[in-house]
Amino acid sequence: MGIYKINPEIHKAKTLPATFYRDQSLFDKSIESVFANSWQFAGDSSFSDDFSIKPFQLLDGFLPEPLLLSKSGEDINCLSNVCTHRGNLLISKPGKMKHLVCGYHGRKFDLEGKFEYMPQFEGVEDFPAECDNLAKVPIKDWRQFLFVSLDPKIEIESTLKAFDERVGFLPIEKFKFDQSRSMDYEINTHWALYCDNFLEGFHIPFVHHDLNEAISYPDYETVLFDYCNLQIGTSKNETECFDLPVGHIDYGKKVAAYYFWVYPNMMFNFYPWGLSINIVKPINMNKTNVSFISYVWDESKIENSAGALLDSVEMEDEEVVEGVHLGLKSRFYQAGRFSPSMEKGVHHFHRLLSEFMG
């Protein structure tokens, strides 16, 4: 990965080379070096209204670690879903439970993962030990949204602070999941190309003509943080914008959308009507699933919002990234350069990938 070192000065830097997107060994390495070490979206805390236990795997099994969420009092825990006796899966479907009981030999745990009981183990020395408890996985709860990491090599607090600075004034706890506005897209492209495309507004006038009528391209702004970045779209014409409180960092601006990207594969797009979360899920080196998850709090603002164009913008983006994916197979293309004004987000992403893969 030495040849993939990205110059920290964007005026001098080259992009990741085409080989990054077409090398199977690098794709395989990213599972542990990029995804297992980062934070991933794990849904919202409202799951506990219907059940106290929810089994899951991150990124639809791309990170094949059986996990479960459990509600214990007011706390939400993320635990290993593997029994510490013989490795059996503990829970196969959501439900309301007071204990976790393995269906293989009856080992029992409380909802915080602590070992409680095991039949026929009388006389076993040094038992139970710490290793008989279920492993706890780090979890963060931000304003109803849950994030977990299998082996965090980065902190998430600065990202959540950046969220609060821009959108903390919104009643985010009241945002409601909207199934009718949520969907999955399967795209014939490398996962990182989808992120590359999201991370710059450079292409908006050329690709998204309707969005360009809603967003003021000359005022488009990118703000970088440690492990996330923010693109700010300001309102053009009569497009709905946020009612920013006095003292807000962007007070006085006609902000139509806050587009947050969180390393390595999450987008949190805040609009005056609510939130569209996009989770980029690698399937293989040439295919990616993107989940659009919508949370609404003011439906009356959707029609005249930049976020009203989600589906059409997605179709336009898919056509572009699939074309780039094919183009990167060319023997004549090696790497490109960055626009210092419009591709700061892509440069930031490539530097992080180079760091964690290298």
Query: Distance (Å, rounded) from C-alpha 161 to C-alpha 30?
Result: 27
Query: Domain residues of the chain, as ranges?
Result: 2-38+158-357, 40-147
Report the amino acid identity of residue 304: N
Instruction: Average the pLDDT over 137-151 and give the result.
Output: 97
Number of H-type helices and E-type strands within the chain: 8, 17
Asked if residues 231 and 345 have their Cβ atoms less than 8 Å apart, the reply is yes
- The 3 state secondary structure assigned to 96-140 is CCCCEECCCCCCEECCCCCEEECCCCCCCCCCCCHHHCCCECCEE
What homologous superfamily does CATH list for 2-38+158-357? Naphthalene 1,2-dioxygenase Alpha Subunit; Chain A, domain 1 (3.90.380.10)
pLDDT at 3: 57
Tokens 């969005």 correspond to 211
| Residue 46 pLDDT exceeds 90 | no
| Residue 74 pLDDT exceeds 90 | no
Instruction: Average the pLDDT over 112-125 and give the result.
Output: 97
Query: Distance (Å, rounded) from C-alpha 75 to C-alpha 171?
Result: 21
CATH class of 40-147: mainly beta
| Residue 321 pLDDT exceeds 90 | yes
Instruction: Average the pLDDT over 315-325 and give the result.
Output: 95
| Residue 304 pLDDT exceeds 90 | no
Q: pTM for this one?
A: 0.95
**For residue 307, which of 343, 251, 259, 260 has the smallest C-alpha distance?**
259
